Amino acid sequence: MADAAQTLYLGLISGTSADGIDAALASFEPAPHLHAALTHPYPPALRARILELAQGDGVTSLDEIGALDARIGACFADAAQALLERARIEPARVAALGSHGQTLRHRPGAEPRFTMQLGDPNVLAERTRIVTVADFRRADLAAGGQAAPLLPIFHRALFARSGETLGVLNLGGIANLTVLCAEGSVLGFDIGPGNGLLDAWCALHTGEAFDRDGAFASRGRIARSLLDRLLDDDYFRAPPPKSTGREHFHLDWLRSRASGSVLPPAEDVQATLLALTARSVADAVQRWAMDAREILVCGGGVHNPLLMRALRDALAPRRVRSTAESGVDPDYLEAMAFAWLARERLAGRPGNLPAVTGAAGARVLGGVYAPLAQGRAG
């Protein structure tokens, strides 16, 4: 249970894999501390529909988008309430709740540019009786930025070391890299597919949501010609600022890169996709974080020993280790970040780094949704 003197914040996010809603209860003074966390599952049919729409595999309507916004908001509220019950914390103890929502589309390169995260924050505020901060991305986008990644500013608060360059690698559905430079500057961008393609291919061929311990990939051989064609994508060559998502890296993209539309055996494709993640990460580190002697890893991919081994081989002689070794749970770092961003919003402080996103300047991120007309419920 949290110390009654500490100011608590709650963060919620479901990433591009939509494998559940991560919820984190944290405080940040005198130092960041995770008090409780959990992952709340989506109903299977809802998750399946989110994934279909996120990668463009379905036609939808305004009615469905509106219903999904409300349903996802209710699931996020369920996650927040389940966490508070587990931690035995009353909602009145929580200063604010930061919700990233569920990304369905991220099109910073479109005209007009847009990004779409669902999960109605009004539902969250009403259900939890906690001041809710949401819609973190669009202020940066409006200022000309990519609206992603947003975590580098939090990585700086957690891990920056004077006089040393450090890489922070998030292996979610999409892999992204933060470079904390020795002189204090910060670079960050989305690398490409992290676990997203691995999970999708595994689900298609085994029925499992992810490749536990890399067992499926371990049965295959890397198809070198396919790997070369996958890496030969303009996105990998583009300089930051840049961001991407399931809209780009999906199974149809994989099939389009196959020679004559014929893919190798399923286990060989899985091994090749794992190699794609490792190689794209290594190439990005070599190009943009050459001076980093250590890479801290968070996100679901940290639990895949085959992927971590491939990364260590590809990034040698750099040290590659989980953020857990620095005292930060790799599964809930992102949720903690949105708790922290809610705190920054209420304090009126910027939540973006223009050098990372390409925005015209620092912006205060997120809208505030109060549950009552006058203050919060006690």
Q: What is the pLDDT of residues 243-292, one digit of tens each?
A: 999 889 999 999 999 877 689 999 999 999 999 999 999 999 999 999 99
Q: What is the pLDDT of residue 1?
A: 60
* Confidence label for 55 from pLDDT (cuts 50, 70 and 90): confident
Helix orientation angle between 266-288 and 224-231, rounded to the nearest 10 degrees = 50
* pLDDT over 90 percentage in the chain: 90
Q: Say if residue 77's pLDDT is above 90.
A: yes
What mean pLDDT do residues 309-333 have?
A: 97
Q: What is the pLDDT of residue 58?
A: 67
Burial class (CB in 10 A: 0-12, 13-18, 19+), 31: exposed
Q: Say if residue 179's pLDDT is above 90.
A: yes
Of the CATH numbers 3.30.420.40, 3.30.565.10, 3.30.1280.10, 3.40.50.1980, which one belongs to the domain with range 8-147+332-369?
A: 3.30.420.40
CA-to-CA distance for 123 and 125, rounded, in angstroms? Answer: 6
| CATH, range 152-317 | 3.30.420.40
> In whole numbers, what is the pLDDT of the chain averaged over residues?
94
Give Dmax over CA atoms of the chain in angstroms. Answer: 64
* Confidence label for 54 from pLDDT (cuts 50, 70 and 90): confident
Domain extents in the chain:
8-147+332-369, 152-317
- Dihedral class, residue 20 (left if φ above 0, else alpha if ψ from -120 to 50, else beta): left
Q: Computed from CA positions of residues 135, 184, 235, 175, in that sequence, does the dihedral angle turn out positive or negative?
A: negative
Q: Do domains 8-147+332-369 and 152-317 have the same CATH topology?
A: yes
CA-to-CA distance for 22 and 158, rounded, in angstroms? Answer: 19
Helix orientation angle between 62-87 and 44-54, rounded to the nearest 10 degrees = 130
CA-to-CA distance for 337 and 154, rounded, in angstroms? Answer: 6
CA-to-CA distance for 207 and 221, rounded, in angstroms? Answer: 21
